[in-house]
Chains A and B, each alone.
Chain A
Amino acid sequence: MHRIRKFFLKQQPVFITIIAVLLAFVIVGLILAATGRNPFNAVYFFVRGAFGNMFNTTDTISRVIPLTIAGIAFLVGAQSSVFNVGIEGQLLLGAMASAVVGYIVKLPAYIHLPLMLLAGALAGGLYALIPAWLKTKRKVNEILSTIMLNYPATYFTHFLVLKVIPIEGVVPATPFIEETARLPILIEGTQLHAGVFVMIMVVIFAYYLLYKTSLGYEMRAVGYNKTAARFHGIPVEKRMNFAFFLSGMMAGLAGAVEVAGVHYRFLDQFSPGYGFDSITVALVGLLNPFGVVISATLFGALKTGILEMSVYSGIPRQLTTLINGIVVLCVAAKDMLGGWYARIFRGKDTYEAQKEISQ
């Protein structure tokens, strides 16, 4: 019994997050019930929509890919105390740069594809150097600068597809990228593309960098305590600049993978806010690279599952925004759950619990 309690105490952040997500579903269920709909029915269609058959499952996975990569983008920043809220803008610029390289350049696939992905990553990374410079040289709060920089990126890409790049079809978009710049579809007739391998590599890369290398150790030291890092010879500003650049690169890569694997061109307004969702994904994933995969799966499933739910159970699509919001609220408020959680698994006073963890 003692051991079980200790386990639950140690893993408190993980369990509280799970409880918060479950709680969100309960609240949504109650709302559905209150409006005269059968919540269990809704759950059925939700699960079917997300994972019910091969098509739905692969559709979900294809949304998990950009969410995960973008989530990792937020994570590598946040681990170095860089809160990059500009992922959406970096993602759009990355997608645009990769699309341009994809349709203009003519090269064999083994070089063209990596090149277009790299172009996307670089565009995002370079764009993130603006808030990096503002932060480390001019002490401008990066949350403000990055969030504002989303707008120029959005409208710049918008401008490019409307005014600069000749439109071939009816929608504002770049021309299609060459076959050589595309990520191959893995299962015929589905949306599952080879971007899933890029995603896996990004997750492993982030884990390896942060936990296995000296550089990652220094980044985390900066993230936790800049003063101590400085006292021990870690160049704090350099590490933060690098974190900005890396975060922007990941964001740009997420956009490039969308272009190379799903749309095959830069389609105006193609991102349903992956960049903004990435923040929630990373935080729900407890800023752990593997946690990000799990939480991206949850948010990916929310996107596809709700679609089917609204079609079959007559729940208006507007409710989907509500559900998303409630999940985010519950997770954001999870510290409130901490008190209750602690009371269940702890004794009376916190001092006691402190001691117990230390045993």
Chain B
Amino acid sequence: MAYILELHDICKHFGNVLANDHVSLKVEKGTVHSIVGENGAGKTTLMNILYGLYKQTSGEIFIDGTKVDIESPSDAIELGIGMIHQHFKLIPAMTVAENVMLGEEPTLGKVFLDLKKINERTLELSDKYGLAVNPKSMVEEISVGIRQRVEILKALYRNANILILDEPTALLTPQESEDLFRIIERLRKDGKTILFISHKLKEIMQISNNITVLRDGKVVDTVKKEDTDEVHLARLMVGRDVFLKPAPKPKKIGEAILRVEHVTAVNEYHHPVLNDVTFDVRSGEVLGVAGVDGNGQTELVKALIGLQPLSGGKIFIYDQEITHLSVKKMRSAGIGVIPEDRLQEGLVEDFSVQENLFLGLQRSQPFSNGTNINWGAVRSNAEELVKVYDIRTPNIEHKARLLSGGNQQKIIVAREIFHAPDTIIASQPTRGLDIAATDFVHEQLIKQRDAGKGVLLFSLSLDEIMLLSTRIAVIYKGAIVAVVNKDDVTPEDLGLMMLGGSYEHIPA
């Protein structure tokens, strides 16, 4: 078998850290080869070496059996390597075609852009691989999924034979991901080789031919897709068995803790965003809220913590009405929240780890007597949480900004759960986290459930909803259209309801 790409004993040091430790890899031509591993396993470093962004400390790279020296991305492009980064590098104010050609534009007499040719060539490439991109659209007007295709077009235009996709589905909706996989399949059939970087096992199993697992900078194993499954891969990646299976049945479901009755809200343009929302969260259960993004989830979370003005309805914690209270009062009534956008809403990035670990509690015992902060208590709290929740930080005075996303999320989860209120609202709690961190967050939420608290889980991932929920509420156009027991529905049923389909046949 001919290998289009071979890596031999690649090592990369960053100071004292060994990011890649003797990584060897063989990639067959015309296959989809996935590189999987946790955040920090060295996937991206390896790809950056291949694309010439970093120089390996030692080791050799062969392309088509010839040893090559990749000093810069232009070398890599020359060698037929294209990389589609996680964050796109497109110019929003230009058209798709102009972006694709940028730097290598066909011209008329070396002065004027040959716009006709530019558009024609882009369309030609787009049609060939079924990308369905309009060359004349402005980039700023197209969706994330289409922008990604423009990035792919850019690589193809530069004659890439090896395409590196770095966590390409991180920003995509499930539908867009499916489209991407179809495109990848088409590219593969055309003889392109795809290096697919991800930590989402499901999609890896769906599209790969071969899978290489990295852990702590080392290759753990390279396997054929036929010889493995998700559980096996997860074990290889994490180095131990992981949760990622349906949560055990709740032990005891008690009375309703949080009750929402006929809540209605409008946005600044007076359009209804919450429409007669009624549900309750009981002690000892996880109520999952399933829905397509933008159907009122964000507003509902805000309503429950006092940031969304309501035009009608009531909210209760036990028998205490908390409608229209300030954020502070609603939270001290017993609501904790893991917000959707952790950098903006959950953390003060320029605060240290210890300062973040008591955010929202800065006037509560033991951190404060109401006036002065007790830094001793802050410190011991931080030290304890860092240990218990395994927050990887050099010290507790380190700025939160400098930590990885997983560790930032751990700070939020630790803070909100440790000072456990009666109800925890978790909004996209595992977005962007790797398996170990996701597993950890799931475990913590289930622990809270079993401690008799009510957990309200908002997630765009149906898998996550199905894994954790006791009951599932479906939100559609600002209204809860159904509340069902998890055991009574299939993901397909839910999917249908999320799109506004009928739900009469589902027993509630």
Contacts and interface: CB of A to CB of B under 8 A. Distances in A.
Interface of A: 212-215, 217-218, 220-221, 224-225, 227-235, 347, 349, 351-352, 354-359
A218 B370 CA distance: 12
Contacts of A347: 15
6 contacts: A224-B351, A231-B345, A231-B360, A232-B327, A358-B394, A359-B15
A225 B307 contact: no
A227 B402 contact: no
Contacts of B371: 213-215
A359 B327 CA distance: 37
Contacts of B398: 358
A235 B339 contact: no
A228 B327 CA distance: 12
A347 to B, nearest CB: 7
B336 to A, nearest CB: 11
Contacts of A230: 307, 327
B382 to A, nearest CB: 14
Contacts of B403: 358
Contact of A214 (B344, B348, B372): B372
Given A213-B371, A225-B344, A356-B14, 4 more contacts: A212-B372, A214-B362, A214-B367, A232-B331
Nearest to B367: A214
Interface of B: 14-17, 54, 305, 307, 326-332, 337, 339, 344-351, 355, 359-360, 362-363, 367-368, 370-373, 375, 393-394, 398, 402-403
B230 to A, nearest CB: 31
Contacts of B349: 224-225
A228 B370 contact: no
Contact of B373 (A213, A221, A352): A213
A266 to B, nearest CB: 36
B363 A214 contact: yes
A347 B55 CA distance: 13
A228 B359 contact: yes
Contacts of B367: 214
B14 A352 contact: yes
A347 B14 CA distance: 9
A229 B362 CA distance: 11
Query: Which of A218, A227, A354, A357 neighbours the largest number of chain B CB atoms within 10 Å of its CB?
Result: A227
Given A232-B359, A358-B394, A224 B348 contact: yes
B345 A352 contact: no
B474 to A, nearest CB: 26
Contacts of A351: 14
B327 A233 contact: yes
A199 B368 CA distance: 28
B461 to A, nearest CB: 22
A214 B371 CA distance: 6
A231 B337 CA distance: 9
Nearest to A355: B14
Nearest to B328: A233
B350 A212 contact: no
Given A355-B14, A355-B17, A231 B348 contact: no
B368 A214 contact: yes
Nearest to B394: A358
A224 B337 CA distance: 20
B370 A217 contact: no
Given A355-B17, A359-B394, A225 B348 contact: yes
Contacts of A359: 15-17, 394
A214 B360 CA distance: 10
A354 B402 contact: yes
A354 B362 CA distance: 30
B360 A217 contact: no
Contact of B370 (A214, A352, A358): A214
* Residue with the highest number of chain B CB atoms closer than 10 Å, among A217, A221, A232, A351: A232
A224 B359 CA distance: 13
Nearest to B398: A358
Contacts of B368: 214
Contact of B346 (A220, A231, A356): A231
Contacts of A213: 371-373
A355 B375 CA distance: 28
Given A224-B351, A233-B326, A349-B54, A212 B14 contact: no
B104 to A, nearest CB: 27
Nearest to A228: B348
Contacts of A229: 348
Given A212-B372, A214-B373, A358-B398, A231 B326 contact: no
Contacts of A220: 351
Contact of A217 (B337, B339, B345, B362): B362
Nearest to B301: A231
Nearest to B13: A352
Contacts of A234: 328
B402 A358 contact: yes
Contacts of A232: 327, 331, 359-360
Contact of B362 (A218, A227, A357): A218
A215 B363 CA distance: 8
B342 to A, nearest CB: 9
B372 A356 contact: no
